Chains A and B, each alone.
Chain A
Amino acid sequence: QVTLRESGPALVKPTQTLTLTCTVSGFSLDTRGMCVTWIRQPPGKALEWLALIDWDGDSYYNTSLKTRLSISKGTSKNQVVLKMTNLDPVDTATYYCARISGGHVNWFDPWGQGTLVIVSS
Chain B
Amino acid sequence: SYVLTQPPSVSVAPGQTARVTCGGNNIGDKNVHWYQQKSGQAPLLVVYDDSDRPSGIPDRFSGSGSVNTATLTISRVEDGDEADYYCQVWDSSSGHHVFGTGTRVTVL
Q: A62-B96, A107-B45, A111-B44 are in contact. Are A46 and B33 (CB under 8 A)?
A: no
A97 nearest in chain B by CB position: B42
Report chain A residues within 8 Å CB of B31. Answer: 105-106
Q: Is A55 an interface residue (CB 8 A)?
A: no
Instruction: Tell me the bound Cα distance from A107 to B48 in angstroms.
Output: 7
Q: Is A56 an interface residue (CB 8 A)?
A: no
Report chain B residues within 8 Å CB of A106. Answer: 31, 33, 48, 90
A contacts with B, residue count (CB < 8 A):
24
Q: A47-B99, A49-B97 are in contact. Are A63 and B1 (CB under 8 A)?
A: yes
Which of B90, B95, B97, B102 is within 8 Å of A46, CB to CB?
B102
CB–CB A108/B102 < 8 A: no
CB–CB A49/B98 < 8 A: yes
Instruction: Tell me the bound Cα distance from A39 to B35 in angstroms.
Output: 13
Report chain A residues within 8 Å CB of B97. Answer: 37, 49, 52
Report chain A residues within 8 Å CB of B96. Answer: 49, 60-63
Q: Is B106 an interface residue (CB 8 A)?
A: no
Secondary structure class of chain A's binding surface, majority of residues? loop
Instruction: Tell me the bound Cα distance from A65 to B27 in angstroms.
Output: 24
Q: Is A30 an interface residue (CB 8 A)?
A: no
Partner-B contacts on A (CB < 8 A) = 37, 39, 46-49, 52, 60-64, 96, 104-114
A-B contact list, 23 entries, CB within 8 Å: A37-B97, A46-B102, A47-B35, A47-B37, A49-B88, A49-B96, A49-B97, A52-B97, A60-B96, A61-B96, A63-B1, A63-B95, A64-B1, A96-B42, A104-B90, A105-B31, A105-B90, A105-B92, A107-B88, A108-B45, A109-B45, A110-B45, A111-B44
Since A63-B95, A96-B43, A108-B33 are in contact, a sample of 18 more A-B pairs with Cβ atoms closer than 8 Å, ordered by chain A residue number, is A37-B97, A46-B101, A46-B102, A47-B37, A47-B43, A47-B86, A47-B102, A49-B88, A52-B97, A63-B94, A63-B96, A107-B48, A108-B35, A108-B45, A109-B48, A110-B45, A111-B43, A111-B44
